[in-house]
């Protein structure tokens, strides 16, 4: 599958490389989360709501700039989850009628939060998965804000980083940037980043 093909929607596939700024929101009554801004236009493109909006743990919502729900990320639970060495998250698209369709699955080794540079695998529901059994992998360490989303051919499709000037001014990593390559579905990228944010106990965690 070519990832010039939309994963969530063609509305979020740009023909040019795009840099976004991500600013975390503090944990308040209605949950934490973060806001994503296009650095060239200064327009809010996405908002992520963490725990607190619906009072549900292990559930996140990615919305567009107008507040419409695009993706629901939910951690799989139950006895199978408890017995597995893997923790599995699933991302569902949400349409205007509230119907959900599975878009991606993210597999996180049980001890990945303790080990740096352990790859986290992502599978796309609609793809014909190749020999590797996955479509994307997280390389690097998200809490350091130094990681990439890489496809199964080894191409970097999105990078998370810190602006050095901003980093000098801020002790915390409440502001960072994400560069998304041309043709890559930006909504999918930020659905994955929202899930990583929760896994590592950051702004969306409860």
Read off the pLDDT band of 25 (50, 70, 90): confident
Which pLDDT does position 185 carry in this prediction?
Answer: 96
Question: Which is nearest to 21 in space by CA: 8, 4, 38, 3?
Answer: 38
Give the residue-averaged pLDDT of 104-126.
74
CA 145 – CA 23 distance, rounded (Å): 12
- What average pLDDT does this structure show over 141-152? 92
Look at the chain and count its residues.
206
pLDDT at 4: 57
Asked if 34 contacts 56 with a C-beta cutoff of 8 angstroms, the reply is: no
Burial (CB < 10 A; 0-12, 13-18, 19+), residue 171, is exposed
Whole-angstrom distance, CA of residue 76 vs CA of residue 91: 10
Question: What is each CA distance from 137 to 3, 6, 23, 35, 157, in whole angstroms?
Answer: 14, 18, 24, 24, 10
Integer Cα distance of 72 and 202 in angstroms: 18
User: What mean pLDDT is predicted for residues 162-166?
Assistant: 63
pTM: 0.85
Q: What percent of the chain has pLDDT over 70?
A: 71
Better pLDDT: 79 or 85: 85
Bridge partners of residue 128, in order along the sequence? none
Is the predicted pLDDT of residue 99 greater than 60, yes or no? yes
Over the chain, what is the mean pLDDT?
A: 81
The residues near 119 (Cβ < 8 Å, ≥ 6 apart) are 137, 138, 139
Q: What is the CATH number of domain 13-199?
A: 2.40.160.200
Q: Using pLDDT thresholds of 50, 70 and 90, give the confidence band for residue 127.
A: low
């Amino acid at each position: 599958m070519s990832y010039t093909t939309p994963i969530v929607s063609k509305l979020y596939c740009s023909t040019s490389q795009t840099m976004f700024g991500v600013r975390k929101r503090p944990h308040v009554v209605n949950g934490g989360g973060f806001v994503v801004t296009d650095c060239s236009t200064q327009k809010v493109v996405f908002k992520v709501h963490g725990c607190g909006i619906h009072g549900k743990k292990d559930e996140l919502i990615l919305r567009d700039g107008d507040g419409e729900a695009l993706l629901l990320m939910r951690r799989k639970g139950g006895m199978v989850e408890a017995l597995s060495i893997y923790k599995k998250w699933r991302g569902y698209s949400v349409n205007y009628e509230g119907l959900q369709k599975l878009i991606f699955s993210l597999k996180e080794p049980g001890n990945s939060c303790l080990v740096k540079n352990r790859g986290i695998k992502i599978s796309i529901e609609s793809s014909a998965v190749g020999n590797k059994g996955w479509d994307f992998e997280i390389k690097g360490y998200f809490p350091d804000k130094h990681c990439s989303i890489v496809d199964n051919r080894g191409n970097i499709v999105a990078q998370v980083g810190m602006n050095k000037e901003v980093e000098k001014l801020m002790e915390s990593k409440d502001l960072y940037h994400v560069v998304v390559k041309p043709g890559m579905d930006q909504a999918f990228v930020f659905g994955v980043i929202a899930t990583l944010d929760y896994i590592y106990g950051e702004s969306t965690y409860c």
